[in-house]
Chain A
Amino acid sequence: MSTQETQPVEQPAPPAKPASPPAPVKELPKFEKSIADKIEGKFGAKIKVEFVKPLRIRIKTPKEEVLAVAKFLRDEMHYDHAESVTGVDYPAEKEIEVVYHLGSYTDPELANHVLTLATRAPREENPNPGSDSTRLPSLRDIFYSVEFHERECFEMLGVYFEGHPDNRRLLLPEDWADLPPMRKDFKIKGR
């Protein structure tokens, strides 16, 4: 076994590495670019298209705009469901980023595309989930499928979603009294 693992050493990552990163940069994928341009054309400088890669687009919006952008994506661009909602903690920037991955079942052209919609909420040093300033508008009325994902994000990072009908705990025990566990200042014991 071990001999077979060491055999392919003669062709390691370096030859592949310079070849693959420039590829997406050189020919900006046309279809993805056209989607990004449409969104940019509608919202202008209020949003920022962070990257356009093959099959993937990332858009960053301020939290005031997120409802309008999501509504536009659903009604005009045919994204019809959210695959996941991820919270990412950035303690140095005093912000928590919430990332929605949107997909489409109804539009065959978008079937293999994922649009990443990112927005940021202020982060507090001593969190008090639900009653501090870490709040975002809920997308539940626009993308129904975020319901449980936003509940998970609330308990794991303490981001309160305004307008969500059911901001209860989902995975954590009901009597959890520590920091929201996916924040960076919550440390695993012994690590």
Chain B
Amino acid sequence: MSTTSLPPGLQIEKVDERIMTLNVGPQHPGSGHMRIIVKIDGDYIVDADPDPGYVHRGEEKMAEYRNYIQNIPHLERPVIHDSCNVLYPYCLGVEELLGIEVPERAKYIRVIASELNRCVYIQYWLAIYGIFLGHSTMFMWPAGDRELYIDMLEKMTGARVTHAYFVPGGIRNDVPANFEDMLLRRVNYFEKRIKEYAAIFYDNPILISRTRDAGKLSREDAIRLGTTGSTLRASGVDYDLRVKEPYDAYGELDIKVNTLKEGDSYARSKIPWLDMLESCNIIRQAVQKMPKSGSVRVKLKPNPKSGNDEVYKRVESGRGSLGCYIVSRSAAEPYRVKMSVGSFRNLICMPYLLKGEKLGNMPAVYWSLNYWPVEADR
């Protein structure tokens, strides 16, 4: 009777008669593309074991077979809603390896594109969070409002979600004519709209009673577990790479970092919404300071090569710090590319947060982590 050769979740285990093991996922809509093996005692979760990997596509392995330019479109696939931010650290890394300075105008357009993308991602996440809490209006509103920015990004990049807009050396093409007017009109309307979410969602007593004090993460634990992004900032740690390690034009902009002290699911779900409001401010500032004309891309040599070097660059994405580690060994292809993604880093606190929660409250805690399964699996 060997019990160890069977995969986890299929093993015959001796457990307390009160304890039941439950597989949530990978097909269950409440888990995303992953499985959570939860042990429950009555209605309460006593143990949770996340089992990701159902959408693992080997992005890092693929990157070793393609040259620096061919890697652009596939490295953004882990989070297609946030594709500019996912590609950002890779482009910054390749620029440092090749010693390229990006034109000033491209820096600002990059900031605008990545802030628009952040809003698109957060709206999508908010829609899912709403529908899993049984709030179908909160699904419809963000899903509709994000079309504004998707449409804007389509005008800039030519694609609705998978933009492949950033390239080492700048951006792929300049923005369309009348860009600033179009953008500012949308930003103003968008800001007005998302402020209305407070009345229907964030000030809603049903939401508050369900998420307040659910899945509490203390400040010490948030730091010890190495969480990042909204999960970290909801626990009272003031850490945002746009301010702490400014890249491109972020250093010249005035950015407010949103933090909350509670560390519960309510705080974690509120931070991304506050971030969206801040994004609107950042976009307005960037439009104001942006050079009105000039080149947006430094032309690279075909098949650029770098020496024996390595680089680690990181940006603040919609889900937290996103790092890209590139090892170069004097070849046209990178020797190793590693993406250190926010979702994967936040996964570690899931067992801690779910312990002691009611099973019915699992989606409220789980989705508040701002977790994107496809990004965690890469």
Contacts and interface: CB of A to CB of B under 8 A. Distances in A.
Nearest to A23: B99
A182 B56 contact: no
Contacts of A13: 98-100, 298, 300-301
B298 A8 contact: yes
Contacts of B298: 8, 11-13, 16
A86 B58 CA distance: 14
Contacts of B314: 83, 114
Contacts, number: 133
A8 B299 CA distance: 7
B32 interface: no
A191 interface: yes
Contacts of B344: 148-149, 152
B101 A20 contact: yes
A144 B98 contact: no
Contacts of A9: 299
Contacts of A145: 224-226, 345, 348
A189 to B, nearest CB: 11
A174 to B, nearest CB: 4
Contact of A16 (B101, B224, B297, B335): B101
Interface residues of A, number: 54
Given A83-B340, A172-B56, A6 B299 contact: yes
Contacts of A152: 344
B336 interface: yes
Contact of A80 (B98, B224, B323): B224
A13 to B, nearest CB: 6
Contacts of B335: 88
A129 interface: no
Interface in A87-102: 88-89, 99, 101
Interface in B198-250: 223-226, 232, 237, 239, 241, 244-245
Interface of A: 1, 4-9, 11-13, 16-17, 20-21, 55-56, 58, 80-84, 86, 88-89, 99, 101, 105-106, 111-112, 114, 116, 143-149, 152, 168-175, 181-182, 186, 188, 191
19 contacts: A4-B173, A5-B173, A8-B170, A8-B295, A12-B298, A12-B300, A13-B100, A81-B224, A84-B323, A86-B336, A101-B323, A105-B239, A144-B224, A145-B225, A145-B345, A170-B51, A171-B52, A174-B8, A181-B58
A-B pairs, top 4 by smallest CB distance, nearest first, are A145-B226, A84-B340, A81-B226, A174-B7
Given A12-B301, A106-B223, A149-B344, 17 more contacts: A1-B173, A5-B297, A7-B295, A8-B103, A13-B98, A16-B99, A17-B98, A17-B99, A55-B245, A82-B226, A86-B325, A88-B335, A145-B226, A145-B345, A170-B51, A171-B53, A171-B377
